[in-house]
């Protein structure tokens, strides 16, 4: 076991054995800059292991602490609301994973929720979308890049509205990734204590759904026709199928985890414009044809032979 795994194993034991320690750690991490996702991970870990009630107690502590910190330390518009939504969605995802033990169900829930929010928010709360754009513009003004930015997007209100919708898609995508990062850490800590190697098996079994495939096709068609909502949904859909494609790649490589990570991640940074579509394509096809069953049958035949 690595040093990090040993550290997380000890922390998981402390959290389960000492409720006061769990409450304090949740509150402290929630107010530390850039550590709110760790606070959410603690909430998720307790929810996964002890259930809804114990998790909800920590949720209230972490969400309130993060809310207060965001109100007094961040100038981002609606930062307090974003914080509360992130904690609530994370708690619901932990409950869903506890009841279903399925990452497919959790990721599908996040993907559908993100698409619904991206589609509905510009109509229900247009001021929220515009405020995010204005905040970005203020940052660029302070950095002396506002003039270049104006030349890039143009002055008409239509262009500003389009960019605001794009930023909404990126914002929802970042929230989804934060929730998934926290949930992954919480599940890994749980597996260290009660099911060593279980987290790895769950990740390797992850497949995209056929419903997600339909959403991806619709988003690609909409983006081709310059539909703003479809373009805003593409980041989370592409990431969803990329993750499924990389999970399939781990199953195909059949080498050590370190070597598999090198073979799968390095090409993304070297030639992302090639490997990203490849992973998305693999994940999409696997959602329809389930290549893992074919790989499993071949492995069984080789063992018998």
Cβ–Cβ under 8 Å, residues 73 and 33:
yes
Q: Is 78 exposed, middle or buried (0-12, 13-18, 19+ CB in 10 A)?
A: middle
Please name the residues in contact with 218: beta carbons below 8 A apart, sequence gap of 6 or more.
230
Where do the domains of the chain lie?
Answer: 207-305
DSSP 44-105: HHHHHHH-HHHHHHHHHHHHHHHHHHHHHH--STTHHHHHHHHHHHHHHHHHHHHHH--HHH
pLDDT of the chain, 305 residues: tens digit per residue: 678 889 999 999 999 999 999 999 999 999 987 889 999 999 999 999 999 999 999 999 999 998 888 777 655 656 777 888 899 999 999 999 999 989 999 999 999 999 999 988 888 877 777 777 777 667 666 665 555 555 545 544 446 667 777 888 888 999 999 999 999 999 999 999 998 888 988 888 898 988 899 999 999 999 888 888 898 899 999 999 999 999 888 888 766 777 878 888 888 888 888 889 999 999 999 988 888 777 666 655 555 55
Tally of CA atoms within 13 A in the half-sphere of 37 that contains its CB? 13
């Amino acid at each position: 076991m690595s040093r990090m795994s040993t550290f997380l194993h000890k922390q998981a034991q402390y959290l389960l054995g000492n409720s006061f320690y769990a409450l304090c750690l949740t509150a402290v991490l929630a107010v530390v800059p850039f550590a709110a996702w760790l606070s959410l991970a603690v909430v998720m870990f307790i929810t996964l292991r002890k259930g809804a009630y114990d998790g909800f107690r920590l949720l209230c502590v972490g969400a309130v602490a993060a809310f207060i910190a965001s109100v007094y330390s961040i100038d981002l518009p609606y930062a307090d609301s974003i914080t509360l939504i992130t904690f609530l969605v994370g708690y619901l995802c932990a409950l869903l994973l506890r009841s279903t033990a399925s990452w497919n169900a959790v990721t599908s829930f996040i993907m559908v929720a993100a698409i619904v929010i991206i589609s509905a928010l510009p109509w229900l709360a247009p001021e929220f979308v515009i405020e995010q754009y204005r905040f970005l513009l203020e940052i660029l003004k302070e950095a002396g890049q506002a003039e270049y930015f104006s030349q890039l997007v143009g002055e008409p209100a239509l262009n500003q509205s389009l960019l605001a919708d794009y930023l909404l898609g990126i914002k929802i995508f970042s929230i989804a990734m934060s929730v998934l990062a926290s949930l992954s850490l919480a599940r890994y800590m749980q597996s260290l204590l009660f099911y060593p190697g279980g987290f790895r098996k769950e990740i390797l079994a992850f497949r995209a759904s056929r419903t997600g495939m339909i959403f991806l096709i619709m988003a690609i068609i909409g983006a081709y026709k310059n539909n703003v909502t479809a373009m805003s949904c593409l980041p989370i859909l592409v990431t969803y199928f990329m993750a499924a494609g990389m999970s399939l790649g781990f199953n195909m490589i059949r080498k050590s985890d370190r070597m598999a990570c090198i073979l799968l991640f390095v090409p993304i940074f070297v030639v992302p414009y090639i490997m990203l579509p490849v992973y998305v394509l693999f994940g999409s096809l696997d959602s329809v044809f389930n290549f893992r069953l074919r790989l499993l049958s071949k492995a069984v035949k080789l063992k018998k032979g």
